[in-house]
Structure 1
Amino acid sequence: MLSSAIAVTFAALGLAAAACTTVGKVTHTHYGYPDNDPPGPATAYDCGRNFKAGGTGTYADPVTFASAQGEFTKCEIIYDPYLRKYLRYEDYCQQCTEDWAASPKIHHIDVWTGSATVNGGQEQIQCENDLTPADKSQTIVRQPATNLPVDMN
């Protein structure tokens, strides 16, 4: 059950309880060109970008995220209130898979950052680390409304 503060926040964002599902205690990490396996923009699933990571974060152009097989439906779009962006499940994440296999299961998403054409090297990896909040500290929204606020930065 959501605390009343979280429920009020989601209500302010226009999230109707029947139209979506919130998942709490989600671990967020970030990855990009230099630390993808293999390095580059390749994704495991083609969700309309020809197996390349990307996105701006709108519902029409969600940012790629990786997770464990079976945790999300391929190409599923979620909303991330932490980043204020829509994300689409397009890639595989080994650490996410290990976390999902743990007992109890740990929800874990790995969000694409940076360019699909330029390797940002160690500077990008440091930026990814700086963006990463504490483990199991975030909430995501499954089956989100299509008009939630998006941060275009």
Structure 2
Amino acid sequence: MRAALFITLASLSLTVMACTKVSKTTHTFYGYPDNDPPGPATAYDCGRGYKAGGTGTYADPLTFASAPGEFNQCEIIYDPYTRKYLRFEDFCAQCDTDWKASPRINHIDVWTGSLTKNGGSEQIQCENDLTPAEKSQTIVRNPAKNLPVDSTALYTKGASPACKTSHVYTSYKISDYC
């Protein structure tokens, strides 16, 4: 009896932990200059003291914003487009509008940085350059912890180039990730 109960609980645990794909997800990007208010503040504290950040690894996921209810606060997802783990730490007004639309539109807004430097119009242009077509990406919920990661910052003020458009991945097989 105990063995049967253990096996049943173990199989339920595997079902809950299995990754899921969310297709047709709109990706946008935001950072210091277009955060509301400008700066690194986030809506939720997921261990960084209400500050956006991260490198994109599972242990240090990059901040993303979305609509309340679309993801669980502090939930970690995997984004094959950026090859980064992302954590839901902030609110996005357009994401909220899209989530409440009929039909619903999945939308994430990925942090480009920085904690201390306002990249101004150059950073906003970078965010636009990184943004793929609407509803064109697939993300992974409940991802494995060992997926490939590109920890390159998407925007670095003063670097050459400042915008790392060569560090997004437009071609991928989602079956490689989930």
The count of corresponding residues between Structure 1 and Structure 2 is: 136
- For normalisation by structure 2, the TM-score amounts to 0.76
Secondary structure of 1:99 counterpart? helix
Equivalence for 1:141? 140
Q: Which has the larger helix fraction?
A: 2
Taking CA–CA contacts closer than 8 Å with sequence separation of 6 or more, which of the two structures ends up with the larger relative contact order? Answer: 1
Give the letter aligned to residue 91 of structure 2: Y
Equivalence for 1:124? 123
- Asked if residue 87 in structure 1 is aligned to residue 86 in structure 2, the reply is yes
Give the letter aligned to residue 49 of structure 1: R
Query: Does structure 1 conserve the Cα–Cα contact (< 8 Å) formed by 2:52 and 2:113?
Result: no
- Asked if residue 35 in structure 1 is aligned to residue 34 in structure 2, the reply is yes
In 2, distance between residues paired with 1:88 and 1:137?
20
Structure with the greater alpha carbon radius of gyration: 2
- For normalisation by structure 1, the TM-score amounts to 0.88
Deviation of 1:19 (Å) = 1.9
Secondary structure of 1:34 counterpart? helix
Equivalence for 1:49? 48
Equivalence for 1:106? 105
Give the letter aligned to residue 114 of structure 1: G
Kindly report structure 1 stretches of 4+ aligned residues shifted beyond 6 Å.
Answer: none
**Deviations 1:74-107 (Å, cap 9, x if unpaired)?**
0000000000000000000000000000000000
Matching of residues 3-22 of structure 1 within 5 Å:
19-22=18-21
In 1, distance between residues paired with 2:124 and 2:112?
9
Gaps of 5+ in 2: 1-16, 153-178
Secondary structure of 2:29 counterpart? strand
Query: Once superposed, what is the RMSD of the aligned Cα atoms?
Result: 0.7
In 2, distance between residues paired with 1:116 and 1:131?
19
Residue identity over aligned pairs, in percent, reads 79
Gaps of 5+ in 1: 1-17
Deviation of 1:152 (Å) = 1.9
**Deviations 1:31-85 (Å, cap 9, x if unpaired)?**
0000000000000000000000000000000000000000000000000000000
